[in-house]
Structure 1
C-alpha cells in the first residue's frame, strides 16, 4: 500500500460509491460499468476474494473481465492468513483518498456486510491483549459463565443483554479491561465517515436461486475441485478464514471422501448440492443485513436500465 496522496478539495467531494447486495446479482459488472462511465476504480469488499488462488469458488474476475478498470484489494492474502476487518478498514480508507487524488470515484464492491460497514461508517475496533484474553478464558473454564456474565452486567449492562456466547463474553470483558471503556461504546453507528452512496442489487428470489445454482455447477465444471486440491497444498485446511469459505469446505470434503478419510461417500454432486444450499442461505443473510440499512438505494438486477438507475443515484446525491 502506498502512502495516501494529498487530495484536492474538488476531488474529495466525490462520494464513495458502494455496490452491495446478495451474491450472484451482478455487483461486479455494475461496478465496472459505473467506473467506465464516471471514471472510477473498484475496491474489493468481498472478504474471500482477498485470498490468492481462491478464484473459481469466489467468482473472482479475471483481468480480461475487468474492462480496463483498476481493481484493488484482490489477492492480498495467503490462504493461511486470517482476514482482519480492522486492517481492511484502514486499507480501504487509504484507497478512497488515493483514488480521489487521481480524480476518480472510489467504487466499493462486495457483499461482505461488516467489511462494507467498516469502510463506510463510524466503526471503531478496540485493541486486543492476548494475555488478558487468555486469563479471562482460563477464568471462564474454572469459575463458569455465570461469574463472568455477572461481572459484565455490573460493568456494562448494555453489553450483558446482548452477549449470548462465551467468545463474545470474554471479548467484552477484555475490551473493558484493555481500553477502560464499555464494550457497548464501540457499537457501530449508521453514519458515514465521508460522503457515500450505497447502491443495492436484488431481484426475484426464484431467479436468484436459479442463478446461484447455475453458477455453482459452472464452478464445478471449470475446475473448482482442482483449485481446492491445489490450495490444500498451500495450507487451505489450516487457514482460519479461508477454510470456512462456502464451496471450499464442501469440496475439501470430496477430497477426503476420495482418499477414504470419510466413512461415507461424498461426491462432487453432493458438494454441488450442499454448496448451493449454503450459498442461498448466505444470500438470505446478505439481504437481511443490507435491507436493514435504509440508506441503500435498491435496483432490480433484472432491469435492463439498472446502469441508468445507478448513474441517476450518483448524480442525484
Structure 2
C-alpha cells in the first residue's frame, strides 16, 4: 500500500530515532495531548484508530478536525473507502513504513489512538499471519455456532484456544480461518519482532465519574457538530447495511433515522455503549506493560507528559553515546 512521504520539518537537535505511543480509553484526551507534544517536538502523528482510516467517518470517530490536522502532519487517516477493508497486517506495514520515513527525515513520530491492537502491532512488532478475512469460512463458522466452533478450535489449535474466551466468536473464527487457509495453527504463526528503535508508551486515564462526564460531553458535542447529518449522508451513499454503520455512535443514529428510537434515546444509547466500550479499553490497556500512566484530569498534564518525554529522550541519547547502539524501553 502506498503511503505519503514524511515532509521534513525542523529537526530535533542530536536526533535519535524513537517512537512515542499514546493510548488509553476513548474520550481521555489523547488527541489534544498528542498535538501539543508533537508541536513541541516538531513531530508527526500516526493515527492508531481502526475507524479513522475510513473516509467520511469523521464526527462519530472523533477524527482530528481539519484545523487540528493543519497544526501537525497526520497520517493513517482517510486512507480507505468505507467499503474497503484494512487488515491489521496492512495497517502495520503502512505504519512501519511511515515511521521509518520519519526517522530518515529526523522527525519524531507519535502513534496515537485507542485501538489497542494497532498500537501493539507497532510497539511490540506483532507477527501477523498474512491471511485476509475469509467471508465464506466465517459464514460457515457462524452457521456452525460458537460452541461448536470453539470445540473445533480446541482440536486444531489447543494452545490458542486456551487464550480465547469460549464466547469470543471473533477471535475464534479468526484462528480457525488462519488454520484452514494455511494448514498451520495460528499459535505457531504468531509472535513478536520488537522494533529496532526505543519506544516510550504513555497512557491517559481518569476515574470512572470523570470519564462518564467526558463521554457525555463528547456525545453532546458530536450531535451538535452534525453527527445525524453525517450518518444520513453515509446511508444515502452506501446504504443502511454498510458494516461500519453498525459500529459505536453510528448504529444508534442509524436506528434513530430508521424510526426505531428518538434522538434522545439514541444519544443515551451512545453514552451507555461508549461507557461499556471504554471499560473494556481500560481493562485491555491496564494489562499491557510498560505504560507510563497520566491522569487525564491533571491541570498540568502537558507539563508532566513533556517532562517524561524529555527524560526519555535524554536517556536514549545518553545510551547511544555511551554504547554506540542498543535499545531502551520507557
CA apart distance, 1:159? 2.4
Q: For residues 232 and 170 of structure 1, do their structure 2 counterparts lie closer, same or farther at Cα, with a shift above 3 Å needed?
A: closer
The counterpart of 1:62, out of the listed 38, 61, 65, is 65
Say yes or no: does 1:279 pair with 2:274: yes
Q: Note the 1:133-172 alignment, pairs <5 A.
A: 134=136, 149=151, 152-163=153-164, 164=166, 168-169=171-172, 171-172=174-175
Cα distance in 2, alignment partners of residues 250 and 209 from structure 1: 18
Q: Secondary structure at the match of 1:66?
A: helix
Q: How many residues align?
A: 305
Aligned to 2:248: 246
Give the alignment's TM-score, normalised by structure 2: 0.81
Q: Note the 1:53-132 alignment, pairs <5 A.
A: 53-66=56-69, 68-128=71-131
The counterpart of 1:305, out of the listed 280, 300, 303, is 300
Contact 1:40/1:106 (8 A) holds in 2? yes
Say yes or no: does 1:293 pair with 2:288: yes
Contact 1:13/1:195 (8 A) holds in 2? no
Cα distance in 2, alignment partners of residues 224 and 216 from structure 1: 9
Structure 2 residues without counterparts, runs of 5 or longer = 7-12, 313-330
Contact 1:250/1:274 (8 A) holds in 2? yes
CA shift digits 1:258-311 (9 cap, x unpaired): xxxx4xxx1110010000001111111111111111211001112122222222
Contact 1:12/1:97 (8 A) holds in 2? no
The counterpart of 2:234, out of the listed 231, 242, 248, is 231
Cα distance in 2, alignment partners of residues 190 and 285 from structure 1: 26
Cα distance in 2, alignment partners of residues 316 and 139 from structure 1: 50
Q: Secondary structure at the match of 1:47?
A: coil
CA apart distance, 1:185? 2.5
Say yes or no: does 1:39 pair with 2:24: no
Q: For residues 91 and 217 of structure 1, do their structure 2 counterparts lie closer, same or farther at Cα, with a shift above 3 Å needed?
A: same
Report which stretch shifted further, 276-285 or 177-186: 177-186
Cα distance in 2, alignment partners of residues 143 and 39 from structure 1: 51
Aligned to 1:217: 220
Cα distance in 2, alignment partners of residues 138 and 118 from structure 1: 28
Q: Secondary structure at the match of 1:303?
A: coil
CA apart distance, 1:3? 8.1
CA apart distance, 1:134? 4.6
Report which stretch shifted further, 81-90 or 38-47: 81-90
Q: For residues 229 and 300 of structure 1, do their structure 2 counterparts lie closer, same or farther at Cα, with a shift above 3 Å needed?
A: same
Cα distance in 1, alignment partners of residues 136 and 311 from structure 2: 51
Q: For residues 100 and 149 of structure 1, do their structure 2 counterparts lie closer, same or farther at Cα, with a shift above 3 Å needed?
A: same
Q: For residues 220 and 184 of structure 1, do their structure 2 counterparts lie closer, same or farther at Cα, with a shift above 3 Å needed?
A: same
CA apart distance, 1:248? 0.6
Q: For residues 303 and 238 of structure 1, do their structure 2 counterparts lie closer, same or farther at Cα, with a shift above 3 Å needed?
A: same
Say yes or no: does 1:268 pair with 2:271: no
Q: Note the 1:7-18 alignment, pairs <5 A.
A: 13-18=16-21
Cα distance in 2, alignment partners of residues 222 and 147 from structure 1: 43
Structure 1 residues without counterparts, runs of 5 or longer = none
